[in-house]
Amino acid sequence: MKILVVDDTPDIRMLLVSVLQRADFEVIEAADGTTVEAWVKDVNPQLIVLDLMMPGMDGWDTLAQLKSNPESAHIPVIISSALSEEEDLEKAGVMGAVDYVPKPWDAKDLVARIRKAISAAAEQNEAA
Protein backbone atom coordinates (compact mmCIF):
# COMPACT_ATOMS: atom_id res chain seq x y z
CA MET A 1 0.00 0.00 0.00
CA LYS A 2 1.37 3.37 -1.04
CA ILE A 3 0.75 6.49 0.99
CA LEU A 4 1.65 10.00 -0.11
CA VAL A 5 2.66 12.23 2.82
CA VAL A 6 2.43 15.97 2.11
CA ASP A 7 3.91 18.24 4.78
CA ASP A 8 6.30 21.18 4.54
CA THR A 9 8.04 20.44 7.87
CA PRO A 10 10.93 17.99 7.32
CA ASP A 11 10.86 16.65 10.91
CA ILE A 12 7.14 15.87 10.70
CA ARG A 13 7.56 14.22 7.29
CA MET A 14 10.43 12.13 8.67
CA LEU A 15 8.31 11.07 11.67
CA LEU A 16 5.32 10.22 9.46
CA VAL A 17 7.49 8.20 7.10
CA SER A 18 9.01 6.28 10.02
CA VAL A 19 5.64 5.53 11.63
CA LEU A 20 4.06 4.45 8.35
CA GLN A 21 7.00 2.34 7.19
CA ARG A 22 6.95 0.49 10.53
CA ALA A 23 3.27 -0.23 9.80
CA ASP A 24 4.34 -1.79 6.45
CA PHE A 25 3.24 1.03 4.16
CA GLU A 26 5.29 2.27 1.23
CA VAL A 27 5.65 6.04 1.69
CA ILE A 28 6.20 8.79 -0.84
CA GLU A 29 6.99 12.31 0.41
CA ALA A 30 6.07 15.73 -0.89
CA ALA A 31 7.07 19.02 0.73
CA ASP A 32 4.19 21.08 -0.66
CA GLY A 33 0.98 20.89 -2.63
CA THR A 34 2.46 21.90 -5.97
CA THR A 35 3.93 18.44 -6.66
CA VAL A 36 0.99 16.36 -5.42
CA GLU A 37 -0.73 16.01 -8.79
CA ALA A 38 2.46 14.72 -10.41
CA TRP A 39 3.01 12.22 -7.57
CA VAL A 40 -0.56 10.98 -7.87
CA LYS A 41 -0.04 10.27 -11.58
CA ASP A 42 3.39 8.67 -11.07
CA VAL A 43 2.76 6.45 -8.04
CA ASN A 44 -1.04 6.14 -7.68
CA PRO A 45 -1.15 6.23 -3.87
CA GLN A 46 -3.93 4.43 -1.98
CA LEU A 47 -4.17 7.35 0.49
CA ILE A 48 -2.83 10.86 1.05
CA VAL A 49 -1.93 12.38 4.42
CA LEU A 50 -2.13 16.13 3.90
CA ASP A 51 -1.00 19.09 6.02
CA LEU A 52 -3.00 22.31 5.64
CA MET A 53 -0.52 25.07 6.50
CA MET A 54 2.13 25.03 3.79
CA PRO A 55 3.78 27.79 1.77
CA GLY A 56 2.86 28.17 -1.88
CA MET A 57 -0.04 25.83 -2.51
CA ASP A 58 -1.60 25.13 0.90
CA GLY A 59 -3.51 22.03 1.91
CA TRP A 60 -6.93 23.54 1.23
CA ASP A 61 -6.01 24.31 -2.38
CA THR A 62 -4.35 20.92 -2.74
CA LEU A 63 -7.44 19.12 -1.41
CA ALA A 64 -9.68 21.10 -3.77
CA GLN A 65 -7.43 20.22 -6.71
CA LEU A 66 -7.34 16.51 -5.78
CA LYS A 67 -11.10 16.24 -5.40
CA SER A 68 -11.87 18.16 -8.62
CA ASN A 69 -9.64 15.91 -10.75
CA PRO A 70 -11.29 12.62 -11.87
CA GLU A 71 -7.88 10.89 -11.71
CA SER A 72 -7.46 11.63 -7.99
CA ALA A 73 -10.99 12.28 -6.66
CA HIS A 74 -11.30 8.67 -5.47
CA ILE A 75 -8.12 8.73 -3.35
CA PRO A 76 -8.92 9.07 0.37
CA VAL A 77 -7.31 12.12 2.00
CA ILE A 78 -6.64 12.39 5.72
CA ILE A 79 -5.86 15.88 6.96
CA SER A 80 -3.08 16.10 9.55
CA SER A 81 -2.92 19.65 10.84
CA ALA A 82 -2.34 21.85 13.86
CA LEU A 83 -5.52 23.68 12.83
CA SER A 84 -8.15 22.01 14.95
CA GLU A 85 -11.06 24.42 15.18
CA GLU A 86 -14.49 22.94 14.54
CA GLU A 87 -14.87 24.95 11.32
CA ASP A 88 -11.60 23.48 9.98
CA LEU A 89 -12.82 19.94 10.62
CA GLU A 90 -16.17 20.69 8.99
CA LYS A 91 -14.58 22.41 5.99
CA ALA A 92 -12.25 19.45 5.42
CA GLY A 93 -15.19 17.03 5.46
CA VAL A 94 -17.25 19.18 3.09
CA MET A 95 -14.26 19.38 0.73
CA GLY A 96 -13.91 15.60 0.64
CA ALA A 97 -11.37 14.61 3.30
CA VAL A 98 -12.25 11.26 4.90
CA ASP A 99 -10.70 12.08 8.29
CA TYR A 100 -8.99 14.85 10.23
CA VAL A 101 -6.18 14.07 12.68
CA PRO A 102 -5.09 17.09 14.72
CA LYS A 103 -1.37 17.50 15.44
CA PRO A 104 0.21 16.27 17.58
CA TRP A 105 -1.19 12.85 16.75
CA ASP A 106 -0.73 9.45 18.33
CA ALA A 107 1.08 7.05 15.99
CA LYS A 108 -1.18 4.04 16.72
CA ASP A 109 -4.30 6.16 16.27
CA LEU A 110 -3.02 7.61 12.99
CA VAL A 111 -2.17 4.16 11.58
CA ALA A 112 -5.57 2.82 12.66
CA ARG A 113 -7.35 5.71 10.94
CA ILE A 114 -5.29 5.18 7.77
CA ARG A 115 -6.09 1.45 7.70
CA LYS A 116 -9.79 2.22 8.25
CA ALA A 117 -9.84 4.79 5.43
CA ILE A 118 -8.06 2.45 2.98
CA SER A 119 -10.43 -0.37 3.89
CA ALA A 120 -13.51 1.82 3.45
CA ALA A 121 -12.25 3.04 0.06
CA ALA A 122 -11.60 -0.55 -1.07
CA GLU A 123 -15.14 -1.58 -0.03
CA GLN A 124 -16.57 1.43 -1.86
CA ASN A 125 -14.63 0.56 -5.03
CA GLU A 126 -15.82 -3.07 -4.90
CA ALA A 127 -19.44 -1.93 -4.56
CA ALA A 128 -19.14 0.41 -7.55
Tell me the domain boundaries of the chain.
2-127
Which is the CATH superfamily of the domain at 2-127?
Response regulator (3.40.50.2300)
Q: What is the C-alpha to C-alpha distance for residues 79 and 20, in angstroms, rounded to an integer?
A: 15
pLDDT number for residue 127: 79
Q: How far apart are the first and last CA of the chain?
A: 21
Cα–Cα nearest to 69, from 97, 92, 41 = 41
Ranges of the chain with pLDDT below 50: none
pLDDT number for residue 46: 96
pLDDT tens digit sequence for 66-79: 999 999 999 999 99
pLDDT number for residue 81: 94
pLDDT number for residue 20: 98
pLDDT number for residue 84: 84
pLDDT number for residue 125: 78
What is the value of pTM for the model shown? Answer: 0.96
| Contact status, residue 76 vs residue 120, Cβ threshold 8 Å | yes
pLDDT number for residue 111: 98
pLDDT number for residue 76: 98
